[in-house]
Amino acid sequence: MTETHPEVLVAGAGPVGMFAALALAKRGIDVHVVDSALQPGMHSYALALHPRSLELLREVGLHEAVVAESYPVHSIGLFDQTERRAEVRIGDGTANSGIAVLRQDVLEELLEAALEDAGAKVSWSHRLARAVMGESSVNATIETLEKESRGYAVSHTEWVVAGSKDLSPKFVIGADGHSSWVRRMLRIGFPEVAKPQYFAVFEFVSDADLRNEMRIVFSGGTTNVLWPLPDGRVRWSFELPAYTARDPRREKDRFAIQVEAGDYPILTEERLRTFLAERAPWFTASVGEIAWRIVVRFERRRAESFGRGRMWLAGDAAHLTAPAGVQSMNSGLAEASELAEIVGKAIHAKDSGAAFEEYDRRHTRDWREILGLSGGLRATGKTDPWVAANGSALLPCLPGIGPDLAALAGQLGLELAAPASAGG
């Protein structure tokens, strides 16, 4: 790897940035990945890989390793507070055709190890601080961050800039998450398209046997999600419709510290049991040790474009939505794969202008659909009335994008409305 002048600089070593870098490295492209954080995130966050993402991971040689660490999900059960109302099948029921449930930190660990094997180590504590597009390259400044410790009795640490260097990659991929610097440097707007949603998330040990199924529960106007995890735990996420956070969390924890309920009365075990009793009394499995709990705010936004010239966005840098369908990370992996292909061709002197335009157009269309800006899900003559009544809440819950999303909705007799001509 040429650290001074890599062909591509990837800002952000989340799943999307590392996947983009790996796909580039596999194409023989000289790539450098920087991340401003000290180390990778902990916890499960976006915990499921869509079938299409598994195929992309196969292309970079990670399919087997990922499947070995995952719990397979072959169906989505749709419930209300009293009973099961509908079902969606994922894949054809064979072992590798469904969704792979895998903690995000485990996925990131696998990606980082594969990147290192491909000769492209992540530079942690390195922040992209500036990027100016030139005719044939981008002039990028990378700052090295160091921790400065202050005081003893009340320990207080702060990050300081210990040094900086300039790079001139041909392209920059901004996979730098929801507050993306790359997006801001390109002055691309990131408007909110709907109110944020808050969820209380609990992961706990349980004897629940979910039989390879994730469950979505619409109860009293709230969306709630139950995922089986690979390690004998389950994750419940409960929407908090009236919640406004004192300290809205959106950052990834970098340390595996057990989060106690502390100042968050909404996260006590008693509240967990109340949520279950009120919203899913049919869940009679055990509630064992709570391994992780958090309140997360999920914003719904999309970038006004996916980039231009020599700087392109992928993943949370370009879009955010509600968590149930795990659409943002999975879409990000597809975007990363496409960008690796287009950038690879552009570096080998093929004119890729039209391919970049198509990248922008297709993902803009997909995200207008996911966020309901194209009309959302429409009931047809075949739609069950309960499903029809919950159609708009279902859109962010279905684990698919583009044609895959349309096919999952189709199983419920729902159609994705035709794209509107403008707006959003």
Residues that bind ligand FAD (CB under 6 A): 11-17, 34-37, 45-46, 104, 127-128, 175-177, 181, 249-250, 252, 294, 296, 315-316, 323, 326, 328-329, 332
Tell me how far apart the alpha carbons of residues 244 and 196 are, in angstroms, rounded to a whole number. Answer: 10
Instruction: Indicate the helix (H) or strand (E) that contains 193.
Output: strand 192-205
Please identify which residue in the block is written with the tokens 């003559």.
381
SS3 68: helix
At CA 322, angle to CA 81 and CA 360, rounded to 5?
145
Q: Pick between residue 13 and residue 377 the one whose CB is nearest to ligand FAD.
A: 13
Nearest distance in Å: CB 395, ligand FAD: 14
Q: Pick between residue 112 and residue 415 the one whose CB is nearest to ligand FAD.
A: 112
Nearest distance in Å: CB 396, ligand FAD: 9
Q: Pick between residue 42 and residue 65 the one whose CB is nearest to ligand FAD.
A: 42
Q: Pick between residue 296 and residue 383 the one whose CB is nearest to ligand FAD.
A: 296
SS3 175: coil
Nearest distance in Å: CB 380, ligand FAD: 28
Q: Which amino acid is at 357?
A: E
Q: Which residues contact 234 (CB under 8 A, 6 or more apart)?
A: 203, 204, 206, 208, 210, 226, 227, 228, 285
DSSP assignment letter at 419:
P
- Work out whether strand 233-239 and strand 171-174 pair parallel, antiparallel, or are unpaired: unpaired
SS3 325: coil
Nearest distance in Å: CB 14, ligand FAD: 2
Nearest distance in Å: CB 253, ligand FAD: 7
Give the start-end residues of each E strand in 50-151. Answer: 71-73, 75-79, 84-89, 99-101, 122-124, 126-133, 138-150
Tell me how far apart the alpha carbons of residues 220 and 133 are, in angstroms, rounded to a whole number. Answer: 51
Q: Pick between residue 46 and residue 118 the one whose CB is nearest to ligand FAD.
A: 46
Q: Pick between residue 254 and residue 271 the one whose CB is nearest to ligand FAD.
A: 254
Nearest distance in Å: CB 407, ligand FAD: 20
Q: b vs e for 232-268, b when ≥16 Cβ sit within 10 Å of the residue's Cβ?
A: ebbbbbbbbeeeeeeeeeeebeeeeeebeeeebebbe
Q: Pick between residue 325 and residue 415 the one whose CB is nearest to ligand FAD.
A: 325
Backbone angles phi, psi at 334, to 5 degrees: -65, -40
Q: Pick between residue 31 and residue 383 the one whose CB is nearest to ligand FAD.
A: 31
Residue 27's region, left for phi above 0, alpha for psi from -120 to 50, else beta, is alpha
The gap from C-alpha 324 to its chain's centroid, in whole angstroms, comes to 11
Nearest distance in Å: CB 30, ligand FAD: 18
Q: Pick between residue 34 and residue 291 the one whose CB is nearest to ligand FAD.
A: 34
Q: Pick between residue 314 and residue 373 the one whose CB is nearest to ligand FAD.
A: 314
Nearest distance in Å: CB 34, ligand FAD: 5
Tell me how far apart the alpha carbons of residues 73 and 206 are, in angstroms, rounded to a whole number. Answer: 17
Nearest distance in Å: CB 285, ligand FAD: 20
Nearest distance in Å: CB 404, ligand FAD: 15
Cα dihedral 414, 416, 418, 419 in deg (nearest 10) = 160
